Amino acid sequence: MVLLDTHIWLWWLLGDGALRKKERLALDKLAESRNLCISWTTLWETEMLERKARITLLPDFQSWITQATNEAFLTVLAVDLDVILTQRNLPESFHADPADRLIVATAMLSGYPLVTHDQRIRNSGVCQIWDPGH
pLDDT in tens, the chain (134 residues): 999 999 999 999 999 889 999 999 999 999 999 999 999 999 999 999 999 999 999 999 999 999 999 999 999 999 899 999 999 999 999 989 999 999 999 999 999 999 999 999 999 999 999 988 75
The pLDDT, as a whole number, for residue 134 is: 58
Query: Quick check: is 129 in a domain?
Result: no
Residue 19's pLDDT is 94
- Rounded CA gap, 96 and 99, in Å? 9
Phi and psi, residue 39, nearest 5° = -80, 150
Range of the domain at 62: 2-124
Could you tell me which of 15, 39, 27 has the C-alpha nearest to residue 131?
27
CATH code of the domain containing 46:
3.40.50.1010
Phi, then psi, of 40 in degrees rounded to 5: -55, -30
Looking at the structure of the chain, the number of domains it has is: 1
Q: Is residue 130 part of a domain?
A: no
132 part of a folded domain: no
DSSP state of 120: H
What is the rounded distance in angstroms from the CA atom of residue 117 to the CA atom of residue 59? Answer: 28
Is position 84 within any domain?
Answer: yes
Residue 90 within a domain: yes
**Residue 40 counted as domain residue:** yes
Q: Is 112 part of any domain?
A: yes
| 80 domain residue, yes or no | yes
> What count of other Cβ atoms lies within 10 Å of the Cβ of residue 30?
20
